[in-house]
């Protein structure tokens, strides 16, 4: 058996539209249709409000709903997603850490708050001065 090396020049065009891609090579053509990916919306807050305000309000709401002052950032995120479905998880986690005065990583954030107390192992509690009325607020007494 004898082998002969050769090459064939191929020219083609790829046309990308909003919902499809068409590829043409020489005289052959194929098309792929797809759902265009929607651009992720940014969270929009009322004028003068920050994500730190949302962290505080969400923690207060969670304590009010569960009647417990011990929660995780994931629990806060789940509750916040009910009201702000475009909330990004990484932004949320950063703001929760920056809201806990005693969190070891808070020093890496420029804007620090004292809304939360870090209890270790990913759990937090709402600081006493931000608790609603008729709540002990002390996670050590629960």
Q: What is the mean pLDDT of the chain?
A: 86
Q: What is the domain partition of the chain in residue ranges?
A: 12-38, 51-141
pLDDT value for 109? 86
pLDDT value for 136? 46
Contacts of 116 (CB under 8 A, 6+ apart): 55, 59, 96, 99, 100, 101, 103, 124, 125, 126, 127
pLDDT value for 39? 63
pLDDT value for 40? 63
The verdict on pTM exceeding 0.75 is no
pLDDT at 44 over 90: no
Cα 117 from chain centroid (whole Å): 21
pLDDT value for 71? 96
How far, in Å, are 20, 21, 137, 141 from residue 58 at the CA level? 42, 44, 15, 22
How far, in Å, are 16, 58, 68 from residue 46 at the CA level? 38, 15, 29
The answer to whether the CB of 142 falls within 8 A of the CB of 69 is yes
Q: Average pLDDT, stretch 43-59?
A: 90
Residue 39 has which token pair? Answer: 């651009």
Q: Average pLDDT, stretch 50-59?
A: 94
């Amino acid at each position: 058996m004898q082998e002969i090396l050769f090459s064939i020049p191929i020219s083609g065009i790829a046309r990308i539209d909003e919902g499809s891609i068409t590829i043409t090579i020489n005289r052959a053509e194929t098309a792929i249709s797809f759902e265009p990916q929607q651009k992720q919306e940014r969270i929009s807050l009322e004028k003068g409000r920050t994500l730190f305000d949302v962290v505080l309000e969400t923690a207060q709401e969670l304590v009010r709903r569960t009647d417990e002052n011990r929660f995780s950032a994931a629990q806060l995120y789940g509750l916040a997603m009910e009201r702000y479905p475009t909330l990004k998880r990484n932004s949320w986690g950063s703001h929760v850490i920056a809201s806990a005065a005693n969190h070891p990583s808070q020093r890496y954030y420029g804007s620090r708050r004292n809304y939360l107390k870090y209890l270790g192992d990913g759990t937090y509690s709402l600081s006493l001065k931000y608790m609603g009325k008729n709540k002990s607020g002390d996670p050590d007494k629960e």
